[in-house]
Amino acid sequence: MKEHSDTQQLQEIYQRLLSHYGPQGWWPLYNNKTRRIEYHPGDYSFPKDKEQSFEVSVGTILTQNTRWNNVERVLYNLQHERLLTKHALHSTPEKKLALLIRPAGYFNQKAKKLKAFAAFAGEISRSNLLSLWGIGKETADSILCYAYHLPLFVVDAYTIRIFRRLGFQETTYESIQQRVMQECKGEAFFNEFHALLVELGKNVCTQRTPSCPVCPLEKACKKVGVTVAARSS
DNA sequence: TCCCAGGGGCCGA
DNA sequence: TCGGCCCATGGG
């Protein structure tokens, strides 16, 4: 019935994005051998240890409302200073940290957020993460999904924008997350789906003038709220 | 020059 | 609950 077709709708969107972009290889991690931050397409075994989980968590905080490009500079800074461990970050003065993470923007706030996370010693759970200063729904779910392999779908501004333009009824964080997680299953799916939506939102379904003619979801899209120029050009 | 980015806290209605 | 404002660097 309705549920069945909706499930097919999400699956079809996922498949179209996947065949268009390919596996995204999230979450990118620093490789000690190549000394580069690398994606690992199709390999969902990362992060592999506690340090990598911590690195991903740091990245989720740094990338709040910030381009990943800027976050990478900071991660290289922190790697160079050997600060990408819970203990090292915990024992680093907030002032010094703020200077190192400057390129990621909001550096004073993010320094405080990172310190709060590094000081946290309890169990990694959604409610515990949400109780920390600086960690909201998206960051908490990102940490759970990408740092700790929990099957959770992360909703972000891109996801909300894309769902709204597609013409879906679900346009809030909770409703979108609930629908995706009811109709789809699996850590790998949630990992990949969010990453694919980010890729689409970054390069095609952009804020101002989305590139509808080259969008892999063009046929299924209602283009709600999209300007006439973007629709026809 | 302006806009926006892989948000979240805080405040007033 | 919800909108508005603030945080800040860097690229198009």
A31 contacts: CB under 8 Å, gap ≥ 6 = A37, A38
Closest nucleotide relative to residue A67's CA, C1' based = B5
Cα–Cα distance, A176 to A38 (Å, whole number): 29
Q: Which of A145, A126, A146 is nearest to A137 (CA)?
A: A126
Closest nucleotide relative to residue A69's CA, C1' based = C10
Q: Is the distance between the Cβ of A103 and the closest atom of strand C smaller than 7 Å?
A: yes
**Chain B bases under 7 Å from protein CB?**
3-10
Cα–Cα distance, A226 to A161 (Å, whole number): 10
* Helix (H), strand (E) at residue A71: helix A68-80
**Single pTM value for the model:** 0.95
Cα–Cα distance, A163 to A176 (Å, whole number): 8
Instruction: Give tens-digit pLDDT for A9-55.
Output: 999 999 999 999 999 999 999 999 999 999 999 999 999 999 999 99
The answer, yes or no, to whether residue A1 has pLDDT greater than 50, is no
Give whole-number Cα distances, A140 to A30, A31, A131, A202, A205, in Å: 21, 24, 10, 22, 25
Q: Is the distance between the Cβ of A137 and the closest atom of strand C smaller than 7 Å?
A: no
pLDDT score, position A3: 46
Instruction: Give tens-digit pLDDT for A138-154.
Output: 999 999 999 999 999 99
The answer, yes or no, to whether residue A162 has pLDDT greater than 90, is yes
Please give the biggest Cα pair distance in chain A: 58
Cα–Cα distance, A56 to A72 (Å, whole number): 12
What does the mean pLDDT of chain A come to?
A: 95
The label of the residue with tokens 């629709």 reads A231
The distance (Å) linking the CA of A155 with the C1' of B2 is 28
Closest nucleotide relative to residue A64's CA, C1' based = B7
The distance (Å) linking the CA of A182 with the C1' of C7 is 35
Q: Which of A222, A128, A225, A124 is nearest to A168 (CA)?
A: A222
